[in-house]
Structure 1
Amino acid sequence: MTRIGIIVGSIADASINRQVANVLPGLVADDDVEFTFLEFKDLPFYDYAHDADYPPVAREWKQAIEDVDGVIIVTPEYSRSIPGVLKNALDWAARPWGQGSFGGKPVAIMGASIGAAGTAAAQQHLRAILGHYDAPTMGQPETFFQYRADNFGADGTLQDEAAAAVLGGFVNAAVAHVKKHALVAVA
């Protein structure tokens, strides 16, 4: 069983990125995949003074990342970058020095926005951060999903075939990316 963690870059209750992330597991063609949402909203602000003795919530966050075979990050774009809360969570995961949780961990990224440009700038910043963490990041398909509320039913299900094709293409490529890197890690 391949275990994939999903990180949503927003902690907003009405996050459109969370709504999009929620439908991804249902679009996977492979039955041998298990998804879990990795939550970080309880993390305090990162401070290197904690490196000698991480708080329990930060140790649990790092362990949750380490316990999965790969990660999908679905993030909004705030001010042409990733949200501060996501950067904070990534900083906790990368520390203390030499004990980063993303090293060698395959990652796929995407984001949803109501605008046509999607989350292109945020994704480029995220790629730079993940590159520094030595996390093999999926290059294609780049997915800048334009969110439309009428694509989703009142129960959160995806109702639009074209949107399902875009999101299904992304999540199935992400699964293949994680599995490819898992095979390399085992070999």
Structure 2
Amino acid sequence: MMSTSDNNRDIEILAFAGSLRKGSYNKALLRAAKELAPESLNIQIFDLEGIPLYNADVEAQGDPKRVSEFKETIREAEGLLIATPEYNHGVPGVTKNAIDWASRPAKKAPLNEKPVGILGASPGMTGSARGQSQLRQAFEFTNSYCMPQPEILVSRAHEKFDEEGDLTDEATRKFLGKYLDALNDWVNKFTGE
């Protein structure tokens, strides 16, 4: 695998949070990722607001505009970064719904062979571990290359972000930087020349 220092090319990453809440810790985590990313990692954040629930009848009539925009941004990106909350010990419907849309059509889905990084923040003690685990299972079906390690599980998120949504916990910031270096290397493994 190439290391970050061996490759100076820019990598386009599409990031999205599996939460619609304005004050979402996972949206804040993506903003921190954008801030802390190595120079070669260009992170663009996509807001899932406006993506309807997946419905094959709707899909048969043509993807809604917001879904088309979402799929196109995935196609244009070299990799994905997903910040998922955890609801009721699992992946939230918002996150899963986005993956369901992006997994279609099956043979030409934008997720096919796409490198993916998953992270998450939660006020709970497990930091979205169960939600991330379920999401990894979905990526097996979509033939996406989900980065196995390192994992980043931001627990007790309410203590690590300030009222403006800035990540203030230095240990978490440092580990997030290391995670992003690993994501850079992971995406290069599949898309580097």
The two structures have a TM-score, normalised by structure 2, of: 0.88
Distance 1:160 1:80 in 2: 25
Distance 2:161 2:63 in 1: 40
Alpha-carbon spacing, 1:102–1:155, altered in 2? closer, same or farther (3 Å): same
Shift of 1:127: 0.3
Is 2:167 the counterpart of 1:152? no
* Counterpart AA for 2:43: F
Shift of 1:144: 1.1
Q: What CA deviation, in whole Å up to 9, does each residue of 1:38-64 have, x standing for no partner?
A: 222211111111333222221111101
Q: What CA deviation, in whole Å up to 9, does each residue of 1:77-125 have, x standing for no partner?
A: 0111111111111111111232211001000101111122111111111
Q: Work out which of the residue numbers 26, 29, 33 in structure 1 matches 2:35.
A: 26
Which residue of structure 1 lines up, in the alignment, with residue 171 of structure 2? 162
Distance 1:78 1:149 in 2: 16
Shift of 1:150: 4.4
Shift of 1:9: 0.8
Report 1:31-180 matches (<5 A): 31-52=39-60, 53-180=62-189
Shift of 1:154: 4.6
Shift of 1:37: 0.7
Shift of 1:174: 1.3
SS in 2 for 1:111: strand
Runs of 4+ in 1 over 4 A off after TM superposition: none
Work out the percentage of aligned pairs sharing the same amino acid. Answer: 32
Structure 1: gaps of 5 or more residues? none
Distance 2:87 2:162 in 1: 26
Which stretch shows the higher mean deviation, 36-45 or 127-136?
Answer: 36-45
Which residue of structure 1 lines up, in the alignment, with residue 3 of structure 2? none
Which stretch shows the higher mean deviation, 105-114 or 54-63?
Answer: 54-63
Conserved in 2, the CA contact under 8 Å of 1:71 and 1:106? yes
SS in 2 for 1:31: coil
Distance 1:41 1:9 in 2: 10
